[in-house]
Amino acid sequence: MPCRFMSFRGQIPKECSSDYAKLLTSPLMSLLCKNSGWRARLLGDTTFMTKLAIEMVTGTGAQFLAEYQKRGKRFMQELDFVAADTLTCLFANFAAVWLSCPTVAVKAVCKKEAAKAGGTLQKFLAACPSNAFQKVVAEGGVSKTFSVAERGAALLVPMPKLFVIGFGATLAGYGLIAGLETFSAWTTAAAAAPPVVAGKGAAKSKRGLKRAQKARAAALAEEAQKPPVPVLGSGLAVGMFLAVWTNLRYQFIAGAVEQRIFDTMLAKNPGLSSLASTAVRSANLYVGSLTIVDWLRYVGVQQ
């Protein structure tokens, strides 16, 4: 087999080579396969794009529903938090699906060359699976087993990335909403200001100007009464939530449930497998949406 079909774990299994050829027949998949990250995930899970779409669409609805259920009558009053949480959810879901997906490495590096690269820690991490629960990938017909330490490391490796992504997504989501609210308060008041008119209409213009000033003052006062959005604290809280709870949930679903159960038991019925995956991921999204609201309240960054 050519060197380009080799990886740090040996030769790509025959079924993966077949999947790779099928992916190259699609213009979009062929374009994505030029990137090593997309290629590794599309080979590790041929339904990766479907699952990603499920997360993006269903995740938004589940987050919105969970926000409404948790906030109740305060939903409209706390709409800024709802919008910020939903934006953060979109960023976080993409990252969680991406990092928890089982992968098959396809690199232009032969196994002997790869073994010489890096130190002890790098070699250990290179030998770890991308998902702690994923099935063993055969190397040239010989099964490669993962140790408990390697599978445990697979849970720890994504944590720093997920924390940074959660922190950054929160800064982006909450910062955007806070900026839009401030801008809206200014533009709403400015829109009420009448044009300056000379002559007989000057008196009316002055009265209109006073009304505009009052409207502007009222809008700014309403904005000032709102509690400040704890962007930094929320970022830290969301980062920890993603690194621990989201990481564990998504790895378990992708590796233990979908790959080991659905892909095995429903291999001859891909439609039913996709339906089962949609149901499980929808439930997971709803659980995550509920628990993150409780978590943010528990740590004191939301009421």
Length of the chain: 303
Residue 10 DSSP code: E
Residue 212 included in any domain: no
Residue 176 included in any domain: no
Q: What is the four-CA torsion angle of 17, 45, 263, 291, rounded to 10 degrees? A: 170
Q: Are 159 and 188 spatial neighbours (Cβ–Cβ below 8 Å)?
A: no
Residue 198 included in any domain: no
DSSP-derived pairing of the beta strands 10-11 and 6-7: antiparallel
Residue 155 included in any domain: yes
If one counts the domains in the chain, the total is 1
Q: What is the pLDDT along the chain (303 residues), one digit of tens a residue?
A: 333 333 334 445 565 667 777 777 788 888 887 887 888 888 878 788 888 888 888 888 888 888 888 788 888 877 877 887 788 788 888 888 888 787 776 543 444 444 455 678 878 887 888 889 988 765 544 456 788 999 999 999 999 989 998 898 888 877 777 776 676 666 655 555 555 555 555 555 566 566 666 666 665 565 556 666 688 898 999 999 999 999 999 999 988 998 899 988 988 888 898 889 889 988 998 888 889 889 988 998 877
CA distances 29 to 23, 164, 254, Å, are 5, 28, 21
> The pTM is what?
0.66
Residue 143 DSSP code: E
Say what the pLDDT of residue 45 is: 82
Say what the pLDDT of residue 157 is: 92
Say what the pLDDT of residue 236 is: 94
Residue 175 included in any domain: no
pLDDT tens column, 31-78: 887 887 888 888 878 788 888 888 888 888 888 888 888 788 888 877
- Give every CB contact of residue 62 below 8 A, 6+ residues apart in sequence: 282, 285, 286, 288, 289
Residue 215 included in any domain: no
3-class secondary structure, 196: coil
Q: How many CA atoms lie within 13 A of 69 on its CB side?
A: 14
Long-range contacts of 27-36, Cβ-Cβ distance < 8 Å, separation of 24 or more? 36/105, 36/106, 36/107
Burial of 133 (0-12, 13-18, 19+ CB in 10 A): buried
Residue 206 included in any domain: no
Residue 207 included in any domain: no
Q: What is the four-CA torsion angle of 262, 146, 98, 282, rounded to 10 degrees? A: 30
Q: What is the four-CA torsion angle of 54, 263, 110, 107, rounded to 10 degrees? A: -10
> Which tokens go with 175?
């910062």
Q: Are 72 and 293 spatial neighbours (Cβ–Cβ below 8 Å)?
A: no
3-class secondary structure, 275: helix
Q: Among all chains, which residue has been given the structure tokens 């992916």?
A: 23
Give the structural domain span for 242: 3-169+229-298
